[in-house]
Structure 1
Amino acid sequence: MNKFSKIMIAGVVIGGLLAGCGSNDQTSGNGESEEAPKAANQTDVSNKEEKNEQEEVSKEENGKPLLEEVGQTIEDENGKLELLKINKVNETVDLSPVKMTIKDIKVFKRTDIPQDLANNLNDAFDQNIDPKEGFVYLQVGGDVENTVDKNVSWNGINTIVTDGGQQIDGIFDDFIMDSNELESDMMGKVNGISYGGYLLKDADINKVKIIFAPVYDYESYEEISPEQQVEYTFE
């Protein structure tokens, strides 16, 4: 079974709204080695210092703005983008043979967006976004790897639940695409990036629960690894 295709909105969401993403190597933008990711505090799923003043972004990685501190902003063809919250997770979720290293989880606010973008988001996700007021969204990003020489299928994030009571479909509600993302049907010994963007009803969230999909054998579609759940808090 293949992963459901992400919704493509007028071409602008293909990396155009993806902010603060990095490469899948283990070096930072300044050439220094990054801290190795820790093991995530994960569980099998049952039944189966904030800054007051805004800062301008001064760093880029792979040609994309690298927003790392609350209050940082950029302006581009899609309007103004502000980083509201961030958890620099740097942890690996083990869904053997698939390993997903969550680099960070961010909450963004985008305002003064083009009318076409607002229209497309409204049509695709039954929203009522005003171009001036914009929208708030959650971004989950990191690196994914199939560690064995065997073909598998994995749909990434199944569900996200916020402490504000919003439940998000990790497949159908993902509006961000990037051409470098690894496909759900993963051949043996491959690695790449995995990013998702999800519209939020409210920016006032402090915790997110993320449920990752099971991993299946590519040929038989027998389950290899069950769903896994992790929780993270914004400080």
Structure 2
Amino acid sequence: MKKGLIKALGIIALAGGVLAGCGEEKASTESKEKATPAEQKEVSNKPSKPKKDENGNVILDQVGQKTKDADGTEAELMKIKAVNQTMDIAPIKFTVKDMKIIKLSNVSKDFEQFLVQYTGGTEIPDGIQYLQIKYSVENTSDSNIQFNGIDKVVLNNGEQLDALNGDFIWEKEDSDSDFFGKVKKEGTVGLFIKGKAEDISSVKLIMSDTINPDTYDTITEAQQAEFQF
């Protein structure tokens, strides 16, 4: 899982007002009492303030939540889907925990220079969005296994993303493709997309083979699975 070094944004990371009606009740002909308007209550449609995990990273888990780093780069959660589904790539079990689409804006110059290598241009547009996939991996055997995780990602709008080389989120644990015996790891993939969040309805993951690191023989061929947003 080759990845570039990322300056932490603190992202691991990401209805409607109701107004009660007024009631009026008629008294008997002998006695009349002025009706008291029902209590008016307004419900905010604003997302709650995002929380932080034990490491101080901001967790965006409601659409519309935003966070900002010290240099002013802002991240907004545009879409989220809790998946919690497992792919069996024997002897590896790969679990997709959740998928998010996050928009970056007001990107600082230093951060932009780092990110541009992942966007295929000379500068990144304002409001660029990326797909974030959070996962866990487990080697269920006692044998050593080599597994590179997600190879390609295909979106319903026709975009094909290179997860091995285009993942800009660096995490020490998930950058190691060697699983020595019964090992569990967690990680996050971040891939820039060209389409709009509202147009993305499905994500297909094409996984890497599982390989015997001693003989380089393939144990399980690459598999794929599609998840709905």
Band of TM-score, shorter chain: 0.7 to 0.9
Of 151, 155, 158, which residue of structure 2 is paired with 1:162?
155
Structure 2 gaps of 5+ residues are 14-43
Cα distance between partner residues in 2 of 1:215 and 1:71: 38
Matches within 5 A, 1:34-49: none
Runs of 4+ in 1 over 3 A off after TM superposition: 51-55
Q: What SS does the aligned partner of 1:113 have?
A: coil
> Is the 1:17–1:176 Cα contact (8 Å) retained in structure 2?
no
Say yes or no: does 1:95 pair with 2:92: no
Of 171, 184, 187, which residue of structure 1 is paired with 2:180?
187
Cα distance between partner residues in 1 of 2:101 and 2:221: 28
Q: Which amino acid aligns with 2:216?
A: Y
> Is the 2:47–2:62 Cα contact (8 Å) retained in structure 1?
no
Cα distance between partner residues in 2 of 1:135 and 1:150: 42
Q: What SS does the aligned partner of 2:110 have?
A: helix
1:60 counterpart residue number: 53
Give the structure with higher Rg (CA).
2
Say yes or no: does 1:211 pair with 2:211: no
1:48 counterpart residue number: none
Residue 20 (structure 1) shift: 3.4
Tell me the TM-score normalized by structure 1.
0.76
Q: Which amino acid aligns with 1:86?
A: I
Matches within 5 A, 1:146-157: 146-157=139-150
Say yes or no: does 1:221 pair with 2:216: yes
Residue 96 (structure 1) shift: 1.2
Say yes or no: does 1:20 pair with 2:12: yes
1:118 counterpart residue number: 112
1:187-232 per-residue CA deviation (whole Å, 9 max, x = no partner) reads 1111111211000102231111111111011111111112111111
Q: What SS does the aligned partner of 1:90 have?
A: strand
| Residues matched between the structures, number | 196
Cα distance between partner residues in 2 of 1:195 and 1:179: 11
Cα distance between partner residues in 2 of 1:160 and 1:76: 28
Q: Percent identity?
A: 35
Matches within 5 A, 1:78-93: 79-93=73-87
Q: Which amino acid aligns with 2:12?
A: G
After superposition, the CA RMSD in angstroms is 2.1
Structure 1 gaps of 5+ residues are 22-50
